[in-house]
């Protein structure tokens, strides 16, 4: 599956990294997830690796959480469920946009197309995108994912808090702290997986290009992540004149105006709230 990534500066040194919304793919993925405990039991097999079974369990919990959130969204105005929904929106507004971006990099992605303003240097775009997912250590030249380190730490922290928040179940109201920590655990897990997948794609592309320069007769390149076809690298940079034209509308603080962000989100199928988080972040 090919994912389209949109990269552009929003204010000063703040850049936006976002994935275009693909409604048909999102719907098909949700349809494949187990919806009942019976379906989950059928798909979980002792012959499968533990990681695959864990993915199925996470998908099942995610499906239940999405259905519960949809129910809160449809609650009547002024009701208790509607107030919980408003509280959830305020909490979600605090989630970093980079985490949302990494969560959008699913395990099914095999190729990424990166659209960026035509005035930017492709090397700079590539470097900024790599920076959000990885960093290099000079001591042993080993590569580790910056996003993976961050979200692995928060993932374990959220798991540690889960047993503590169960104590709120004795109160005569929904256990909001438990469900919030459960969501954060799931969110950091997905961001961790997305960070590892993004670094895999970026690393494969880099190694493919380097090996292609050294061996013109080979048709395949091997890396620590597997074997890949040189004719189809998983990384494509696409300068966009349309995106460049939409970046000229600035606000008083030198960032993109609300009108420009709206037009960009409409033309490139982005979530406006995520783009605004990048612009307003320090």
- For the cut 80, the answer to whether the pLDDT of residue 141 exceeds it is no
What is the model's pLDDT at position 60?
77
Other CB atoms within 10 Å distance of the CB of residue 54: 13
Of 84, 51, 74, give the one whose Cα is nearest residue 173.
Answer: 84
Distance CA 141, CA 145 (A): 13
- For the cut 90, the answer to whether the pLDDT of residue 117 exceeds it is yes
Average pLDDT, integer, range 175-189:
86
Window from 91-95, 199-203, 210-214 with minimum mean pLDDT: 210-214
Distance CA 65, CA 119 (A): 42
Of 181, 173, 239, 228, give the one whose Cα is nearest residue 203.
Answer: 228
Window from 87-96, 127-136, 146-155 with minimum mean pLDDT: 146-155
The pLDDT tens digits of the residues spanning 12-48 come to: 888 999 999 876 555 555 556 666 767 777 777 666 6
Percent above pLDDT 70 for the chain: 74
Averaged confidence pLDDT in the chain? 76
Residues 6+ apart with CB under 8 A from 174: 84
Are the C-beta atoms of residues 176 and 167 closer than 8 Å to each other? no
Exposed/middle/buried for residue 55 (C-beta within 10 Å: 0-12, 13-18, 19+):
middle
- For the cut 70, the answer to whether the pLDDT of residue 130 exceeds it is yes
Torsions phi, psi of 246, nearest 5?
-85, -5
Are the C-beta atoms of residues 241 and 229 closer than 8 Å to each other? no
Model pTM? 0.75
The pLDDT tens digits of the residues spanning 245-263 come to: 998 888 777 788 889 999 9
Are the C-beta atoms of residues 171 and 191 closer than 8 Å to each other? no
């Amino acid at each position: 599956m090919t994912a389209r990534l949109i990269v552009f500066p929003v204010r000063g040194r703040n850049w936006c990294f976002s994935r275009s919304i693909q409604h048909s793919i999102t719907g098909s993925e949700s349809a494949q997830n187990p919806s009942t405990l019976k379906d989950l039991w059928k798909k979980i097999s002792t012959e499968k690796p533990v990681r695959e079974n864990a993915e199925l369990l996470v998908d099942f919990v995610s499906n239940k959480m999405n259905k519960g959130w949809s129910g809160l969204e449809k609650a009547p105005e002024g009701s208790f469920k509607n107030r919980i929904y408003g509280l959830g929106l305020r909490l979600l507004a605090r989630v970093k946009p980079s985490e949302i971006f990494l969560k959008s990099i699913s395990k099914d992605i095999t190729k990424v197309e990166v659209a960026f303003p035509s005035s930017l240097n492709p090397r700079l775009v590539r470097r900024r995108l790599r920076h959000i997912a990885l960093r290099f250590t000079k001591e042993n030249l080993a590569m580790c994912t910056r996003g993976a380190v961050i979200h692995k730490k928060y993932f374990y922290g959220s798991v540690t808090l889960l047993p503590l928040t169960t104590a709120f179940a004795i109160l005569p109201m929904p256990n909001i702290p438990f469900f919030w920590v459960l969501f954060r655990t799931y969110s950091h897990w997905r961001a961790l997986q997305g960070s590892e997948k993004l670094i895999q794609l970026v690393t494969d592309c880099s190694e493919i290009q380097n090996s292609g320069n050294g061996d013109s007769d080979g048709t395949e390149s091997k890396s620590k992540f597997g074997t890949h076809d040189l004719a189809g690298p998983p990384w494509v940079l696409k300068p966009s004149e349309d995106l460049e034209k939409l970046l000229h509308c600035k606000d008083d603080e030198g960032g993109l105006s609300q009108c420009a962000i709206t037009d960009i989100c409409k033309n490139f199928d982005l979530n406006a709230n995520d783009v605004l988080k990048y612009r307003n972040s320090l």
